[in-house]
Amino acid sequence: MTGGDDGYDELRSGFTAAVSHELRTPLARLLALLESAELPGADVGELVAQARLEVEQMRELVDDVLFLGELETGAGVVSLGQTAALPVLEEVAASFAEAAARAGVEIRVSGARGVELPLRPRMLRVVVENLVENAIRYAGGGSTLRLGVTIVGGEAVLSAADDGAGVPAEDLPRLFERFFRSDRARSTRGTGLGLAIVKHVVTAAGGTVEARGGPGRGLEVRCVFPTS
């Protein structure tokens, strides 16, 4: 076996171990909820509702893992033609309006209607949805998420900037790692794969992605694509 094969096997084994670890927590909570439902005087309806949340958490994780696998094996073609970005931003913002309102997050969309990005419509939607979900989960109540698309210095820039809680500066370079969560994010539900998916799709289309911000200064994720 070559050194490259060894490296790939090590990466695959590490990813499998990480997925297993991430599934153990909701499984343990689900088991505890089911056991609690058998106790005298248990509020079965409430326990079932909590158990449903745990099942949704596991399903979301499995879906994200499968999608990443699809991207990495080349089954999901990322860059095919161009897609007008602003209509997709508006569509995604509208679809998340209710969830954002529950979280106390306002979504604002802006940008030039003629800007196109080198992504299939489905892949662009995946990127924007994950950026929005990340802000809804972690920005905090009373914050505003600004989604925008523009041309800067001959490059197309898709940005998602919130004015929420932010993350420690030392965590910014790690936000796109699989399963990484900053200290604040560990207490919230999420697969830890959303921004990893964003990075994978953007880089596969020839773009770059970066995170900016800091504690109390919100978080901005910038996806930059060549225009030619």
pTM: 0.68
Q: Quick one: average pLDDT of 4-26?
A: 54
User: From the CB of residue 27, how many other CB atoms can be counted at a distance below 10 Å?
Assistant: 14
Quick one: 134 exposed, middle or buried, by C-beta within 10 A (0-12, 13-18, 19+)? buried
Nearest one of 156, 83, 155 to 126, comparing CA atoms: 83
- pLDDT-based confidence at residue 7 (cuts at 50, 70, 90): very low
Longest Cα–Cα distance of the chain, Å, equals 67
- pLDDT-based confidence at residue 186 (cuts at 50, 70, 90): very low
Class of domain 3-72: mainly alpha
Exposed e or buried b per residue across 42-78, where buried means at least 16 C-beta atoms within 10 angstroms of its C-beta:
eeeeebeebbeebeebbebbeebbebbeebeeeebeb
- What are the sequence ranges of the domains in the chain? 3-72, 83-226
pLDDT in tens, 90-145: 999 999 999 999 999 999 999 988 899 998 888 888 899 999 999 998 899 999 99
| Cα(174)–Cα(138) distance, integer angstroms | 16
pLDDT in tens, 16-71: 555 565 667 677 778 888 888 888 888 988 888 888 887 877 776 676 666 666 66
The CATH architecture one would assign to domain 83-226 is 2-Layer Sandwich (3.30)
pLDDT at residue number 109:
97
